[in-house]
Structure 1
Amino acid sequence: MFFKKRNQKQKGVVQYQAINVSIEQVRQAVNEYADGLAKGISLRSIVRDDHSIDVDVLKGILKGIPNRPFYMSKETFEIFELAELPEQIDNVQKAVDQFIQENGEEPVIPGNADRKISYHLIRHYLHDEPIVELYLDKHDRMVTHRRPE
């Protein structure tokens, strides 16, 4: 499978092959792409409505087109291989932000050292409860699926 792009300098065609990449390679490519974004341009611009990453913008960095989709949260910018997680994290992040704004406290389970989010506390802000346990980072109040160490 090849993808073609006109190279303006050489007036030729650059072909990008479908390649196998790891999630870590995609993360590195997204970080490199983000570093080059003009001021005022959000990284959200590469996330499609279905949370898939527009890999067209990464093909020059990756030297190819990933042979499978990757997904990104629009709120936390975490990258995933599963399509369901980014939307769930985005919904919970919005609910957590609303809860904090309205109540002045974090919706974590009292006494939980891992800062696990209490879906009971944010139930009025969520349409559906996530299928995974989510945690609230103590430094930036961002929702994550990674259990703190």
Structure 2
Amino acid sequence: MWFKKKKTAKEKTYPIKDISLEEVRHAIHAFSKELPADIPLKIVAKDDLSLDYSLLAPFLKGIPEKNYYMSKETYDLFEEEEKHIPLALDQIQHAVDQYIAQTNELPVIDHDPYRKVNFFKLEKLKLIEERPEMDFYITDQEQLVTTVKPE
């Protein structure tokens, strides 16, 4: 029997360089276009929500010298000094999704034009254990949670 020796692909190394948040955002977008439909974009974020640059380096033509973080629920990107935000965002998005599934309504105060997440409603159903130190709002787009207050 003849066996072909597997070719070992030489792994390409990329330079570490200054790459902006916007450039990372564009790389993630390009990466997402090449993903098979059954693979979620959240694979680009590690367990600590930092980005997996081994997946993005070919699109960035380098490795960012800064760490960036991404919410696995909303895909929002954040810089190092804001790395606590995607953790809170994912927690609140999950709680909001559960609240909607259980009650068929949004966890906001009635008639609130900003659709600010009401932490009391989430606590009442034991969907969160502690309140984040920032406000969250529910967008019109697929009930996604954001830290940006609507105008």
- Range into which the TM-score falls when normalised by the shorter chain: 0.7 to 0.9
Runs of 4+ in structure 1 over 3 Å off = none
Structure number with higher strand proportion:
1
Q: What are the residue-to-residue correspondences of 1:67-82 with 2, within 5 Å? A: 67-81=65-79, 82=82
> Deviations along 1:23-49, whole A, 9 cap, x unmatched?
111111101100110121111111111
Amino acid of the structure 2 residue aligned with 1:45: I
Residue of structure 2 aligned with 1:42, choices 37, 40, 43: 40
Query: 1:89 Cα deviation (Å)?
Result: 0.7
Q: Distance in 2 between matches of 1:21 and 1:148?
A: 29
Q: Distance in 2 between matches of 1:114 and 1:103?
A: 20
Amino acid of the structure 1 residue aligned with 2:146: T
Amino acid of the structure 2 residue aligned with 1:126: I
Query: 1:129 Cα deviation (Å)?
Result: 1.0
> Deviations along 1:80-121, whole A, 9 cap, x unmatched?
112111111111011111111111110012232111111111
Structure showing greater Rg? 2
5+ residue gaps in structure 2? 1-7
Cα RMSD for the two superposed structures:
1.7
Paired residue for 2:118? 118
Paired residue for 2:26? 28
Question: 1:15/1:102 Cα in 2 relative to 1: closer, same or farther (>3 Å)?
Answer: closer
Scaled by the length of structure 1, the TM-score of the pair is 0.87
Scaled by the length of structure 2, the TM-score of the pair is 0.86
Residue of structure 2 aligned with 1:142, choices 141, 144, 151: 144
Paired residue for 1:130? 132
Amino acid of the structure 2 residue aligned with 1:63: K
Q: Distance in 2 between matches of 1:84 and 1:71?
A: 9
% identical equivalent positions: 34
Q: Distance in 2 between matches of 1:24 and 1:128?
A: 32
Q: Distance in 2 between matches of 1:109 and 1:28?
A: 36
Amino acid of the structure 1 residue aligned with 2:118: S
5+ residue gaps in structure 1? 1-6
Structure number with higher helix proportion:
2
Paired residue for 1:4? none
Query: 1:54 Cα deviation (Å)?
Result: 0.2
Figure out how many residues of one structure are paired with residues of the other and give that number. Answer: 140
